[in-house]
Amino acid sequence: MSKEKTYLVTGGAGFIGSNYIKFLFETYPEVKVVNLDKLTYAGNPENLKSVENRSGYYFVKGDICDRVLVADVFRKYSPDYVINFAAESHVDRSIGDPDDFIKTDIYGVYSLLENCRKYGIERFVQISTDEVYGSIDKGSFSETDTFNPSSPYAASKTGGDRLAFSYFVTYDLPVVITRASNNYGPNQYPEKLIPLFITNAMDDKKLPLYGDGKNVRDWLYVEDHCKGVEYVLQNGKNGEAYNIAGNCEKQNIEITKKILELTGQSDKLIEYVKDRAGHDRRYSLDDSKIAKLGWQPEYDFEEAMRKTVQWYQENEEWWRKIKSGEYLEYYKEHYGQDL
């Protein structure tokens, strides 16, 4: 397929976006990828070291909310596909200060959609999340279920999700939407449960488990997610949303114990701490729609967790720079401004 296509990937310096860009180059060596990223605290050019000098890769530092800058990118590169990963993504930060979440996760989506409408594209993929449905005690959410977001993060992602849909309905823009479960794997910022706990365990530090540790998340290996997004881009139907599940539900305490086992640490590192405000109890997705389309996750949890722990063990320099604050200095040196 699309070896001459140009992909505009927004938020491509973050966790999932950088994995997706590397996946694209492995899959389509001739592809052109424009990465538009603001480089917030979560964006890290080191995630893309292996592709930054190859032909077909173009990096633009900029904010998706900046409609003039986004228009320049469209005029210069004429993307065929836009895949919007750019977002403020961490629930705890959204509880502390929702401002940037509202801007990027809602207005940023609008700015991209307006430019898509003006310049024309073949497909716009809005990377939404399972958090738009909220918590479910029993059973699983399907794509037509009601939205019930709990955090400012989830609510702003719901805004972006619906805005994208409205551009399909109102302007016939070729939009598809994906809603995935919790991702894990290489290059995930060590504020999220799995990389935080792996790196803390490696340093003999406590693992702060919220509440009773029995909240349930469905875990999806990032490589599977990237393949799922690409599958929907190529095979999905305009105006449709697709759940992308890992089919691997675990309580947080189970994840914690697995990390302790794989890092050779004891349960003594577990520290139960105050619960997250508005903490959703359980996420669960019905993925029969994407399964019917022909896609399912390939990784087994045990294997993917081993790979993930091994990656953080072999890439200490990457996460130590972030955790120590050294990355902030590097950023200032390279970009002449503070994060």
Residue 332: count of CB within 10 angstroms of its CB: 12
Rounded Cα distance between 301 and 159, Å, is 32
Q: Is 87 in the site for ligand NAD (CB under 6 A)?
A: yes
State the minimum distance, in angstroms, from the CB of residue 90 to ligand NAD.
Answer: 7
Please identify which residue in 40, 151, 200, 256 interacts with ligand NAD, judged by CB under 6 A: 40
- Of ligand DAU, ligand NAD, none, which one sits near residue 318, judging by CB under 5 to 8 A according to partner kind? none
Q: Which does 187 bind (CB under 5 to 8 A by kind): ligand DAU, ligand NAD, none?
A: none
Return the residue of 7, 21, 37, 109 that touches ligand NAD, per CB under 6 A. 37
Residue from the set 22, 28, 32, 43 that interacts with ligand NAD by CB under 6 A? 43
Q: Mapping DSSP to helix (H, G, I), strand (E, B) and coil, where does residue 91 land?
A: helix
105, 131, 218, 223: the catalytic one is 131
Q: Is 153 in the active site?
A: yes
* 176: its two tokens: 């598809």
State the residue for tokens 């995630």.
Answer: 47
Asked whether position 70 contacts ligand NAD by CB under 6 A, the answer is: no
Residue 161 binds what, of ligand NAD, ligand DAU, none (CB under 5 to 8 Å, by partner type)?
none
Q: Which does 215 bind (CB under 5 to 8 A by kind): ligand DAU, ligand NAD, none?
A: ligand DAU
Shortest approach of ligand NAD to residue 89 CB, angstroms? 4
Catalytic residue among 110, 153, 242, 327: 153
Q: Beta strand 207-210 with 182-184: parallel, antiparallel or unpaired?
A: unpaired
User: Does residue 189 carry a catalytic annotation?
Assistant: no
What is the rounded distance in angstroms from the CA atom of residue 279 to the CA atom of residue 273?
A: 13
Among candidate residues 37, 63, 88, 130, the one labeled active-site is 130
118: nearest Cα among 65, 171, 61, 177? 171
What are residue 20's phi and psi, to 5 degrees?
-65, -40
Cα–Cα separations (whole angstroms), residue 131 to 5, 51, 60, 135, 305: 31, 31, 29, 8, 22
Residue 328 Cα distances to 10, 48, 95, 132, angstroms: 22, 17, 23, 32
Residue of minimal Cβ distance to ligand NAD: 14
Question: Is 228 a residue that touches ligand NAD (CB under 6 A)?
Answer: no
Active site residue 131: yes
Neighbours of 69 (CB within 10 A): 17
Catalytic residue IDs: 130-131, 153
